[in-house]
Structure 1
Amino acid sequence: MSEVLLSHEIPGGAAWSVLVRAGRELRLTALEAGANCSTLLYAAHHPVDRLNVPDTLKAQMSARVHAPMVLMSDRGTALCSVTGSSLDWHDALCGHSCDAQLERLGPSSYHAERNAWRRSARAGLLGELRKHGRGPADLHACVNFFAKVATSGDGTLTFMPGHASAGDWVTLRAEQDVLVVLSTSPHPLDPQWTPPAVLAEVRATAVPGADDPSWTFRDESARALRAAREVLA
């Protein structure tokens, strides 16, 4: 087990952000069944380069995020590699939840409910982005780690409850300095408000070798990783 450099438990329905240095690993662990972690990624030293979910999926011939895929930026550089996961499906199609989707649950406020008040992922993500001098223009399509949706023949997306169990995990290796913004509010298609907590740990990790699965996964993955190394040069 690699050395833990930073550990933070994100309560259910909350948000958090962290700068992960190149070569370090971010491990996310579901602390209860049914977790969701809406995740945004940004190149820390570039003003606008950020995760491009459509390009990430298209280049790697997938409709889901799974190991050993590479999460690519708008400029085609690798931001993070998915180095491992206890689940083979993380949703990248549905985006994050918005305030309007919570209206069906009735009113909620910090004044009445304190830290148990209901906040959409959008609200939480924006709160974290403002800490870094960013705002609504910086929101982008996210990855919902621990969540799964099924597609029907007519293109309808259906949320799959119970996909994640307590203890499920995913690890991301930063391929350059990356700002990671996380929300543990429920998936936008989840009809319930029972958001579990997620543990986030930044760990030291070994330098990948020539046989690293993310490097050998697809030619497009290796090209994005080479571009990230040029950023670091």
Structure 2
Amino acid sequence: MTPEQHHGTRSASAAEATRPTPPPADATHPAPPPAQATRPTPAPPPADPADAPAAPAAPSVLPARAAWSAVIPAGHTLTITDLHGNQAVDFLVYDAHDTAVRYSAPDTIHAQGGLFLGTGSVLLSGEHTPLMTVTADEVGRHDTVGGACSKESNTLRYGHHTWSQHACVDNFLAEGARHGLGKRDLVSNVNWFMNVPVEKDGALGIVDGLSAPGRSLTLRAETDVLVLVSNCPQINNPCNGFEPTPVELTIGAPA
């Protein structure tokens, strides 16, 4: 190779080195920036029982021994009808937005100055706030002190052979669990249609009921309330005539 040729080759190489590198074919369409990491969607808060729709206004027949619950909006009514007569209906009520606010037998009894419930009785909470009011009653007297039957109380009163019998506490626990309630949330309950006379010395007994087929009572919700009902399964005393029967539950619109 001559010096001229060698020089020409170096010149060509230098030219190649200084020549700008052509842009990529897709330089006018730059790649999108890397995707940003997305934050996980937070879990929704626990459902408020009061957000659940109220039960249908059409009457609902509750079978013997069964449980029932509903959120009843303020101003609406609940009518309980004793279809066959002499059927006790165990009942608990809570503020639907704060179930720590719940029926209190002591507050209710003290405020009205008597043990028995009837037309005009107001079911009060432990905070002394009104939950429901009895607006109509065809029986005249309902129990506040007899409590709910349980496996334990049945065994104590009637013998160990009753241990396996279904009881109101079982109903309250099963139905209450649907609303996040447990055993610690159960308090002394109301017994609609149940006749528990109390003597002057404090003695009480569970005797034949005062109700009759088709008699009813109506309660008005004073705030949004959650109601639990146990159609009492007791067969060892006369509170159900020794044969539990269905009742009817009807939620009505404000008057």
TM-score by length of 2: 0.71
Q: Residue 102 of structure 1: CA displacement?
A: 3.9
For residue 124 of structure 1, what is the amino acid of its counterpart? N
Matched, 1:166 2:213: yes
Kindly report which structure 2 residues correspond to 1:13-28, keeping only aligned pairs within 5 A, or say none: 13-28=65-80
For residue 203 of structure 1, what is the amino acid of its counterpart? G
Distance 1:23-1:189 versus aligned 2 partners, 3 A rule: farther
Percent of residue pairs bearing the same amino acid type? 32
Distance 1:34-1:186 versus aligned 2 partners, 3 A rule: farther
CA contact (8 A) 1:28 1:200 kept: yes
CA distance in 1, matches of 2:100, 2:146: 22
Kindly report which structure 2 residues correspond to 1:26-105, keeping only aligned pairs within 5 A, or say none: 26-103=78-155, 104=158
| Alignment deviations for residues 175-222 of structure 1 (CA, whole Å, 9 cap, x no partner) | 11100000011569825641121100001131xxxxxxxxxxxxxxxx
For residue 67 of structure 2, what is the amino acid of its counterpart? A
| Alignment deviations for residues 98-124 of structure 1 (CA, whole Å, 9 cap, x no partner) | 113445484687xxxxxxxx4100000
Q: Runs of 4+ in structure 1 displaced over 3 angstroms? A: 101-109, 186-189
- Paired residues, number: 195
For residue 147 of structure 2, what is the amino acid of its counterpart? G
For residue 168 of structure 1, what is the amino acid of its counterpart? R
Gaps of 5+ in 1: 110-117, 207-233
SS in 1 for 2:210: coil
SS in 1 for 2:226: strand
CA contact (8 A) 1:20 1:179 kept: yes
For residue 59 of structure 1, what is the amino acid of its counterpart? A
CA distance in 2, matches of 1:124, 1:142: 13
For residue 174 of structure 1, what is the amino acid of its counterpart? A
Q: Residue 74 of structure 1: CA displacement?
A: 1.2
CA contact (8 A) 2:235 2:243 kept: no
Partner of 1:129: 176
Partner of 1:197: 246
For residue 156 of structure 1, what is the amino acid of its counterpart? A
CA contact (8 A) 2:166 2:233 kept: no
CA contact (8 A) 2:93 2:131 kept: yes
CA distance in 2, matches of 1:5, 1:97: 29
Distance 1:149-1:187 versus aligned 2 partners, 3 A rule: farther
| Alignment deviations for residues 136-159 of structure 1 (CA, whole Å, 9 cap, x no partner) | 010011110001111223211122
Distance 1:136-1:83 versus aligned 2 partners, 3 A rule: same
Higher relative contact order (CA 8 A, sep 6+): 1
CA distance in 1, matches of 2:200, 2:126: 30
For residue 176 of structure 1, what is the amino acid of its counterpart? T
CA distance in 1, matches of 2:171, 2:59: 19
Larger radius of gyration: 2
